[in-house]
Structure 1
């Protein structure tokens, strides 16, 4: 067996081992058999207190799961995940959402959310309840710009958003102000 053949076999063997590790990791976290969208939703909506025992973060193009030295990366495809945390008094700076670590001020809180594109077309308009981590997340069309408006107990917050490959996935600038 020549060196090139050995290298190919080693690569195939390692990729199989990595796939087995990823499958085992997903099973341990109760995420086995889920799509990437379902994995993201499950982690972000987890009722476990933050930080979780593993790292999960999402940027504009991929989901990254890390435990110890192992890192698993899953492409998002044609959708964009934006997670936002409306607040009254306290927030934190964030660009890429840490599904396993970010904690917003208003956990388990009911809001009205209206998301429109820059032409004024409504993408989402509904009542939602923030997750245990104080965030609300949603899947949006890619390559879109617009505005998020959140209403809560006579208070309103608005902010622009974008869903490009270099856009933020964690919005922590929605300060709710009295109208």
Structure 2
């Protein structure tokens, strides 16, 4: 695994993961967050997209809005992090060994903002996964089945739950990009 530097620690999860049936409000939550991000960053936004399970109509999800943000250089935190902090977010972690990924968090609603630079292959993968689930009900159902089976287990960290889904996620991405 790539080096991860936690900027802000969070307590251990040590519980099952709570999934909710699809909520038609999730896209509106995203739209409000997108407006905040664009207002804070202006032209520094290369791309901002709703991604993750809450971006897929009909899919059960943790009530967490995943946002994909592309900025000119994710390593140049001074160019975007202070503005996002001013808009109510905080820097959670940086992963220099994994596409210079930064995770920025929001709390109301719960937000995971994944920050990358232009040309990063993970941007294409995340959007391909989302679009495949939107377009293929059978794959959306398969993914939801796996999520529900895993969610009832006790997880030390929510990331462990996410990692446990990786086989089905990678299969869907491979078919989307194939």
Asked whether the two chains share a fold, i.e. TM above 0.5, the reply is no
Question: As a proportion of its length, which structure holds more helix?
Answer: 2
Larger relative CO (CA 8 A, sep 6+): 1 or 2?
A: 2
Larger-gyration structure (1/2): 1
Question: As a proportion of its length, which structure holds more strand?
Answer: 1
What is the TM-score of this pair, normalised by structure 1?
0.25
What is the TM-score of this pair, normalised by structure 2?
0.25
